[in-house]
Amino acid sequence: MDIIVLKPDTSEENIRHILKKLESKGLKTNVSQGTERTIIGVIGDTSKVTEEEEDAIRAITGVENVVRIVKPYKLASRDFKKENTEISVNGTVIGGRKIQVIAGPCAVENRTMMVDIAEKVKAAGATFIRGGAYKPRTSPYSFQGLGEEGLKYLAEASKKTGLPVVTEIMDPRDMDVIMEYTDIIQIGARNMQNFRLLLEVGSVNKPVLLKRGLSSTIKEWLMSAEYIMSRGNHEVMLCERGIRTFETATRNTLDLSAVPLLKQMTHLPVVVDPSHGVGKLDLIAPMAKAAVAAGADALIIEVHTNPEEALSDGEQSLKPGLFAKLMQEMKPVAQAVGREI
């Protein structure tokens, strides 16, 4: 059901015109005359009214506003599916009682480093490895990733440790090669509304980690999940990684309230990336613990053996020792909220 608010002094003729328009779209209506405004209730299943049709209704003379009651996403909604979605990757479950930890460098830089980091994060308790082979960079002059070579190093690190791999796709043309090497496909923040890429990952049968866009509302984020799910792939997890605000003291503003809010709105698992969320080494551990307390199902944390030489995100990468310490510190927090890590 939707509501259409009319401008004051809208003529009877105009109202009839609006009603006719709505009825021509197969919708039933119900007019209520208030003291200040006349309102048209649109009855029945209005979920098929697209945003474009809503815009067109707004364009009709006499219409002041359209208030939508129906949520624009369906498959992603908690109304659609009451129980939590659990995504199992080689037996490791994201969205269950155990909080999963995805760790690794921002970019895959070389074989030795990748294997070395993978072994160290595994020893510390991480359950997935991450690393970028195709890197979205604000500058064309920056290191853009090793491409398939990087994917091979990731696969090797995975084989040595038994940890499944998370890596990012930037271009639909890379789908085949990425499918060969990864266990979870990551959609980065800058591609959250790259709708063609969303449709593409919606058509394959690997879980998708969908990062929130820098200035994306939670509703838009769920709509992007809906894009993927509408193509048949229902294994989507949502990753909060900080939003852009006026505050510049941190790289982004990590919106942890998104975690419990999403748990209400959707059945999909929620991941938190404190590394990108704050972008400052000393803040990663407290924010990781806060994310656990807020109810995150998984964390994704950047780890590098030599941040001073990292080809990207050195500033926000934990050394393996600090990462191991954080893993220990998160355990009692997880227990305190009825989870384990």
**Dist. CA 266–CA 228, nearest whole Å:** 14
Using CB under 8 A as the binding rule, the residues of this chain from 224 to 263 that contact its own copies are 224, 226-227, 230-231, 243-250, 253-257, 259-261
**Structure tokens, 197:** 């890429």
**Dist. CA 35–CA 47, nearest whole Å:** 29
Q: Which is nearer to its own copies, 107 or 118 (CB)?
A: 107
To the nearest whole angstrom, how small is the minimum distance from the Cβ of residue 91 to its own copies?
28
Phi and psi based region of residue 162 (left: phi greater than 0; alpha: psi -120 to 50; beta: remaining): left
Among 15, 19, 29, 37, binds its own copies (CB under 8 A): 37
C-alpha angle 72-75-78 in degrees, rounded to nearest 5: 90
Using CB under 8 A as the binding rule, the residues of this chain from 191 to 230 that contact its own copies are 191, 193-196, 198-199, 214-215, 217-220, 223-224, 226-227, 230
Choices 97-105, 117-125, 150-158, 287-295 (CB under 8 A): range interacting with its own copies = 287-295
Binding pattern for the stretch 155-194 against its own copies, x by CB under 8 A and - elsewhere: ---------------xxxx----------------xx-xx
Phi and psi based region of residue 70 (left: phi greater than 0; alpha: psi -120 to 50; beta: remaining): beta
Among 14, 29, 47, 92, binds its own copies (CB under 8 A): 47
Q: Which is nearer to its own copies, 57 or 102 (CB)?
A: 57
**Dist. CA 131–CA 114, nearest whole Å:** 8
Cα–Cα distances in angstroms (integers) from residue 10 to residues 281, 320, 329, in the given order? 59, 67, 63
Q: Which is nearer to its own copies, 93 or 175 (CB)?
A: 175
User: Does 72 engage in binding with its own copies (CB under 8 A)?
Assistant: yes
Q: Which is nearer to its own copies, 32 or 112 (CB)?
A: 32
Name which of 254, 247, 250 is nearest 273 in CA terms: 254
To the nearest whole angstrom, how small is the minimum distance from the Cβ of residue 5 to its own copies?
5
